[in-house]
Amino acid sequence: MEEPEDNCFCAGCGGKIQDSFHMKVLQDTWHTACFQCSVCSDHLTNWYYEQDGRLYCRKHYWEKFGELCHGCSLLMTGPAMVAGEHKYHPECFVCLSCKVVIEDRDTYALVERSKLYCGKCYKQVVLTPMLEKRSHDSILDSLPHTVTLISMPSAANGKRGFSVSVIRDVNGSPSVQVKEVRGMLISPEVRNAIHVGDRILEINGIPVGTLLEEEVDDLIHRTSHTLQLLIEYDPVRQRLDRLRLGSPRNQLGVPATSRMRLSSPPNSVLEKTNVVDDGTLKRRSLRRSNSICKSPGPYPPKESPLITKDIGRSESLRSSSSCSHRIFRPCDLIHGEVLGKGFFGQAIKVTHKATGEVMVMK
């Protein structure tokens, strides 16, 4: 409770606050009776959520703004495993075949956006049967939609075994796609996992949409370092591209013409074809959930960690009014001081590397 101020009005009902029985939360002042969930009208104390100027109790905030696990379809409120655009509870990130939980740095493949396999089972259950029955070209026409991670070790000969190009899709959105695969320079495991026309989602754990073209080029051409790529094979999109362009399989998309970030609008200025080469299917870098985040500290652009952008943490309890609830990966955050400790663990001040947002993480 605080002393009333002159011309102080309640953010809930808009009425003037004339007595000392009121709540002050950041920039707003509320009648004690008005400080309630905007959905169920339950009275709120010191535990509340706010979004776009409206208050919520815990239950209704998560129902309205929470993210659903792609595995069990229940709400996620803490750590998350990330596979492409899909998020899972850590305990739901399980191989469909062997039922083993896929942990840190384990290989995985998400097939048809729903069937999750560890690397070993993906090779045995999906790839090997197709390789035994079909030629390489026919395999490309029969493979299902797949998101997988490949890891290419350093190359002594300075070659990666494939080349990529930055192109724009039908909607004008830029993306990084595999332009050429040089099979003789790539190990069989990776050769069967990377195809012409595949879309690269992440390079060394960094979403390509956040990178400049020069950074894409630099990361791929650093052949003295291990290169990890999160790749999407989308047969429907590739067929549409070929029909639209009337082109053979090895000529997909239209070169981009911009030097801005890959997520920039279509009329910005960008162009690059990156030649690269070598590799092996490696273990997926997905972090197991722990009560205390083991996020790495800040890295210079040239020394970014290989693939640590995978564990998700929810942002602080008070959500920004300018954006909906998000789940963060630890490597997106720079750790600051410990703000407090208790039965819940400890609260740590963190700063988002890209946006500069300051938040509290438990």
- Please state the domain count of the chain: 2
Decide if 73 is inside a domain.
no
**Residues 244/173, Cβ–Cβ less than 8 Å:** no
**149, 263: one domain:** yes
Nearest to 232 by CA among 262, 199, 208, 207: 199
**272, 313: one domain:** no
Decide if 288 is inside a domain.
no
**266, 208: one domain:** yes
- 16 annotated as a binding-site residue: no
**246, 323: one domain:** no
pLDDT in tens, 163-176: 888 876 666 667 89
Nearest to 251 by CA among 200, 188, 197: 197
Decide if 2 is inside a domain.
no
**% residues pLDDT > 90 (the chain):** 7
Mean pLDDT (whole number) for 176-199: 81
**172, 260: one domain:** yes
E strands within 47-160?
Answer: 49-51, 54-56, 67-68, 75-76, 80-83, 86-88, 108-111, 115-118, 146-152
Q: What is the CATH number of the domain that holds 167?
A: 2.30.42.10
The pTM for the full model equals 0.56
* Side-chain half-sphere exposure of 359, counting CA atoms within 13 A: 24
Tell how strand 67-68 and strand 115-118 pair up: unpaired
In single-letter form, the type of residue at position 59 comes to K
Task: Give the model's pLDDT for residue 29.
Answer: 80
pLDDT in tens, 27-86: 778 788 888 888 998 888 767 777 777 888 888 887 888 788 888 888 887 778 888 778
**183, 268: one domain:** yes
- Structural domain boundaries enclosing 196: 136-277
Chain Cα centroid distance, residue 359: 19
Decide if 15 is inside a domain.
no
Task: Give the model's pLDDT for residue 227.
Answer: 85
